[in-house]
Amino acid sequence: MSLLLSLDVADRLVVVVGGGVVAARRVRGLLDSGADVTVVAPECGTDVAAQVSHGDVRWIDRKVRATDLDGAWLVIAATDDADINMQVAAWAADRRIWCVNSSDGFSTKARVAAVSRHGDLSIGVVSEGAPDPARVARVRDSLGALLDAGQVDMRRVRRRAGRVVLVGSGPGSVDLITVRGARLVAEADVVVTDRLGATGLLAALPEHVEVINVGKSPDNHPVPQHEINEILVDRARRGLTVVRLKGGDPFVFGRGGEEVHACAEAGIPVEVVPGVTSALAAPALAGIPPTHRQVSTSVVITSGHAGPEPTARAALGEGATLVVLMGVAALPAFVEAALEEGADPSTPVAIIESAATVRERVTRGSLADIVRIAGETAVKPPAVIVFGRVAAPAFLASALAATPPS
Ligand code: SAH
């Protein structure tokens, strides 16, 4: 049985003998690890040649000699000539240098693991049997997918300094969070959540993960922002990894900036993982492209809370796309503003409620009738409202219908 090691090769000399496809792949992996790479080969393929011309690797352009190995920490024999590779391996053994012999997978003394990286964890898979790289890669990919999907408990066992991570969880469905976001949820000791976003992820958390819901709902008062900040700082000070799970993107009407400030002031390390914002995802899911060549080249995203501000009015007047979040109550004010700014009453308006959830519903109309229609259909938050020609019902309908669902 062999010993599986992780070598930090940063700035250490690694000699790669050969300049073809196999060598190129090895060189890439070595450069990713920060190694100091010398390639020895009379000729190089295009990939290695490009790395040489970029100055990323040194090239000795002749047949290999024993002394080329001097000073190396690791040698990769990757020529297409098995005899040369064996000779290089023998020279390396004389010098007590580990050597990966690419053409002698079965008896090589060192094997390179198939690796994937997941935050500060790496997976390495090696086979000790007859070489079968595709099989090893498949196992690595299957295990890596579990980690990326947040299906493996990656919480720290040994405490280190606490930290806060603002994770944008996307508009609602659990598969619209980013891979990095899902992984951080799997690392969290505490999850501080809202009502919106991919809250379905919470059900899968192990019992020992503390879940604190600070979201407002019709029958409870929202937790004031300063109290949320205090919760984040308090838990991080206890050495915990705190994920602040937010709907959409943390920095789009998410008060993420305030939370970052609060953590920074308290000296707590804070990180942000972007998310898919409902401002763009809700229209996309309804088949509305916020920009479309020759139809709308600008999109303004605003909040309904303050009513139609000058920028929103300008967008409505100019025929740019206007996306309004938190805008259900303010819909009549926006329609009025649009007409005041000279927009055509036939300008399309679409309202997307609860996008990316089972309750998703799209209501359409025009400036002339959307207030009445929204009243009749009892549109309610959370909803994204889109004003502009791109919101016309037929805009992409025919093209999307022609595309089979994925
Ligand atoms: N940071 C979030 C927005 C928070 S403000 C983001 O980037 O998406 C809350 C508002 O976002 C809601 O009032 C609604 O306008 C919108 N919203 C969030 N999730 C939504 C969803 N699934 N469907 C429709 N609108 C949504």
pLDDT at position 399: 67
Q: Which residues contact 286 (CB under 8 A, 6 or more apart)?
A: 350, 352, 355, 362, 386
Q: How confident is the model at residue 393 (pLDDT cuts 50, 70, 90)?
A: confident
CA of 325 relative to ligand 1 center, distance in Å: 6
CA of residue 198 to ligand 1 center, whole Å: 11
Q: CATH number of the domain at 163-276, please? A: 3.40.1010.10
**Summary mean pLDDT of the chain:** 93
Burial 130-150 (b: 16+ CB within 10 A, else e): eeeeeebeeebeeebeebbeb
Nearest CA to ligand 1 atom 25: 383
Q: Are 370 and 327 in contact (CB under 8 A)?
A: no
Mutate to test the pocket of ligand 1, among 225, 249, 278 (most ligand atoms within 8 A of CB): 278
The model's pLDDT over 304-351, given as tens digits with 9 standing for 90+, comes to 998 999 999 999 999 999 999 999 999 999 999 999 999 999 999 999
Which residues 6+ apart lie within 8 Å of 374 measured at CB?
328, 331, 351, 363, 365
Amino acid at 217: S
Q: Which two tokens stand for residue 297?
A: 């080249």
Contacts of residue 47, defined as CB under 8 A and 6 or more positions apart, other chains included, come to 21, 24, 27
Question: pLDDT per residue over 357-380, tens digit each?
Answer: 999 999 999 999 999 999 999 999
- Read off the pLDDT of residues 191-235 as tens digits, 9 standing for 90 and up: 999 989 999 999 889 889 999 999 866 566 788 999 999 999 999
Question: Catalytic site residues?
Answer: 194, 216
* CA dist., res. 164 & res. 188, Å (int): 9
* Residue scoring higher pLDDT (19 or 204): 19
DSSP designation for 374: H
Residue ranges, comma separated, of all CATH 3.40.50.720 domains in the chain are 13-112
326 pocket-lining for ligand 1 (C-beta < 6 Å): yes
Is the CB of 277 within 6 Å of ligand 1?
A: yes
CATH number of this structure's domain 279-400, picked from the four choices 3.90.1150.10, 3.30.950.10, 3.40.50.620, 3.20.20.100: 3.30.950.10
Distance, CA of 230 to CA of 228 (rounded, Å): 5
pLDDT at residue number 103: 87
Q: Is 283 in the pocket of ligand 1 (CB under 6 A)?
A: no
In short, whether 325's Cβ falls inside 6 Å of ligand 1 is yes
Regarding the beta carbon of 280 and ligand 1, being less than 6 Å apart is answered: no
Query: What pLDDT is stored for residue 191 in this prediction?
Result: 97
What topology does CATH give the domain 13-112? Rossmann fold (3.40.50)
Nearest ligand 1 atom to alpha carbon 360 = 23
Ranges in the chain annotated CATH 3.40.1010.10: 163-276
